[in-house]
Structure 1
Amino acid sequence: MPKPYPKEFRDDVVRVARNREPGQHLRQIAADFGISESCLTNWLRNADVEDGTKPGTTNEESRENRELRNRIRLLEQENEVLRRAAAYLSQANLPGKWALPS
C-alpha cells in the first residue's frame, strides 16, 4: 500500500478544490497536484464530513469507536475469567470428592 499523503498536502488540495474558479474541473486540479480525480473526490467528501456539512463518521468518532470496541473486548475477557474462577471456586466448596473426612 502506498504511503499516505501528508495531512497538510491533503488540506491544501481540498482548499484549492473548494475555492476553484467556475468552469475549472476537479480533474484538472487533481492532475496539477499529481493525484487521481477519485482521490480528490474522496478527500473532499471526507473534508465535508469532518467540517460537519455532510453526515457521516468523523475520524475522531472512528478512533473513539475503535478504542471502545477494544475496551469492550477486554472487559468481556475479564468477565469470562471471573466467571470461570467463580465456577471453579464454587466447585471447591461443595462436599464430595474434595471434602476432608471428619
Structure 2
Amino acid sequence: MGRQSPYPEEFRKDAVALWRASGGTRRYAAVAAELGITGETLRTWVRKDNAGQQAPGGAGPEGPAEEPARLRAENARLLKAEKEWQLEREILRRAAAYFAREVK
C-alpha cells in the first residue's frame, strides 16, 4: 500500500465533482490550480473514482485489459451454475420417475 494522501476524502470527492461539473471541458490542470493541487493528482482521483463506480455486473467504463478477466470470471460463474442446474434436473427427473412408479 502506498502512502496516505494528505487530502481528506471529502476534499478529493469535491475536487472530482468540480471537474465533472465542467462536463470534462476544462483541463485537469485548470481545475486543479483553483484547488491548489497538481493536475496529475486530480487526474488520479478521477480515475480512481471511475474505477470505484464500476458496478459488479460489469456496467461502467472498462479498459480493454479488464474485459477479458471479467468475461472469464463471468464464464466460470455461469459454468458452475449450469452444473448445479444439471444436478437439480437429474434429481427431479429421478424423483418424478420414482413417484410415477409408486402411483401405478
TM-score by structure 1 length?
Answer: 0.47
TM-score by structure 2 length?
Answer: 0.46
Higher Rg: 1
